[in-house]
Structure 1
Amino acid sequence: MATLRAAKQALRKEVKKRLASLSEEEKLRQSQIVSQKLFQHPRYKSSRRVAVFLSMADEVCTDAVVRAVLGSGKACFIPRYLAGGNHMDMLRLKSLEDLASLPITSWNIRQPADSDTEREEALSTGLCSKPTAPVSRAQQQTLRRSPMEVKKDDNGAMSRNATHPR
């Protein structure tokens, strides 16, 4: 396990180094490519609810995705990390003006305040897909099967439970 942890740390360090070497123009170009691929995906096109992680400066810029989701009339959900914990909720964002009014975290990302209890929470009101850590090709094949529920155990192993419509 220590070897795996060390390998992950080395990979993160290398990725961070490569990202730092990219110009702002290149980051924007690559962000546009990622956004366009998302917009063309059949699952995005058919979705009515989309959860979007707001980006930090060294990540794929998700501003265009937020604008597109809100502009298309889809429900847009963004994360709120509760202070002092590792829990995250995906809360509904009403508009770009709503986003601009949110407080800024220590990571320089806007998110609803801890005291904001009036927003719809994605997982309590319907199915919402969340991104996961990189997985192996075998795990990708498992994740592509549907309908299903994928869970991780305490050791990070993934398991698949088929869900059947009633």
Structure 2
Amino acid sequence: MYVKKNIREIKQDLRRRYRTYREALEPAQKVEMDAAVRRRLFRLPIYRNNRVIFIYVSKPIEVDTIGIIQHALAHGKRVAVPRCIPGTYQMQFYFIRSLADLEPGMFGVLEPSAEHCQPVADLRHGLCVVPGLSFDAQGYRLGYGKGYYDRFLSSFGGQTAGICYRACVPWNLPHGYYDRPVDILITETYIRKTGSRPASRQEERHD
């Protein structure tokens, strides 16, 4: 019990640290960093070659995803956005055709309209852009503590990409045996292949 409590406290401290950093970003600086993350994502084969993009709608402290959604739709990709299922810690993805298909949902986040959007039935393929307050160099993530994405990723068969600010990427984060690292990590200054094998400090691409 002591070890579990200690890990929980460590995660809460890390969440406060990275939330504080994000909240302190100057708006112009954040816009520039978000654009740099997008440019790196758009150049990657993992993005260009996938026709289905699973992606969240960002909160103000997260890397902006509206530009990613617009780019994907403009380039003929199918875009799937999550909707939280009330009374659970699970979510269902729905295909959207435009930003007009989104409406305010749980936690004040925009979600697809279940009435007007088609639910995603096949989770075997596609690229999932994964949110996180922090990712470590191995691709493990620190979320908000609710476990929505941990549950989803356990049944997702496609590829995954974490997007995050460089200052929120330590070398290691506490994680469990069943936690799944993202396949690739993208920050405003580099791209790192991660996944199931240990990352090396030489694997960063700063293009």
| Fold-level similarity (TM above 0.5) | yes
Per the normalisation by structure 1, the TM-score is 0.73
- Find 2:54's aligned residue among 36, 51, 55: 51
State the alpha-carbon separation in 2 of the partners of residues 159 and 84 from structure 1: 23
* Highest RCO, 1 vs 2 (Cα 8 Å, sep ≥ 6): 2
Measured after TM superposition, the shift of residue 47 of structure 1 is: 0.8
Q: Which residue of 2 aligns with 1:111?
A: 111
State the alpha-carbon separation in 2 of the partners of residues 135 and 79 from structure 1: 24
Measured after TM superposition, the shift of residue 127 of structure 1 is: 1.6
Q: Which amino acid is 1:79 matched to?
A: P
Per the normalisation by structure 2, the TM-score is 0.60
Q: Does 1:94 align with 2:97?
A: yes
Q: Secondary structure at the match of 1:111?
A: strand
- Counting matched residue pairs gives 143
Q: Does 1:6 align with 2:9?
A: yes
Measured after TM superposition, the shift of residue 106 of structure 1 is: 4.4
Measured after TM superposition, the shift of residue 135 of structure 1 is: 5.3
State the alpha-carbon separation in 2 of the partners of residues 36 and 78 from structure 1: 21
1:1-166 matches, cutoff 5 A: 1-98=4-101, 102-113=102-113, 116=115, 119-121=118-120, 123-124=121-122, 126-130=124-128, 131=130, 134=135, 137=138, 156-158=176-178
* Cα separation, partners in 2 of 1:2 and 1:52, compared to 1, 3 Å: same
State the alpha-carbon separation in 1 of the partners of residues 93 and 79 from structure 2: 9
Q: Which amino acid is 2:126 matched to?
A: C
* Cα separation, partners in 2 of 1:104 and 1:132, compared to 1, 3 Å: closer
State the alpha-carbon separation in 2 of the partners of residues 12 and 78 from structure 1: 24
Which one has the bigger helix percentage? Answer: 1
- List alignment gaps of at least 5 residues for structure 1: 140-146, 150-154, 161-166
Q: Which amino acid is 2:18 matched to?
A: V
Q: Secondary structure at the match of 1:11?
A: helix
Q: Secondary structure at the match of 1:7?
A: helix
Q: Which amino acid is 1:112 matched to?
A: P
State the alpha-carbon separation in 2 of the partners of residues 9 and 53 from structure 1: 22
Which one has the bigger strand percentage? Answer: 2
Runs of 4 or more, structure 1, over 6 Å off, are: none
- List alignment gaps of at least 5 residues for structure 2: 141-156, 160-174, 181-207
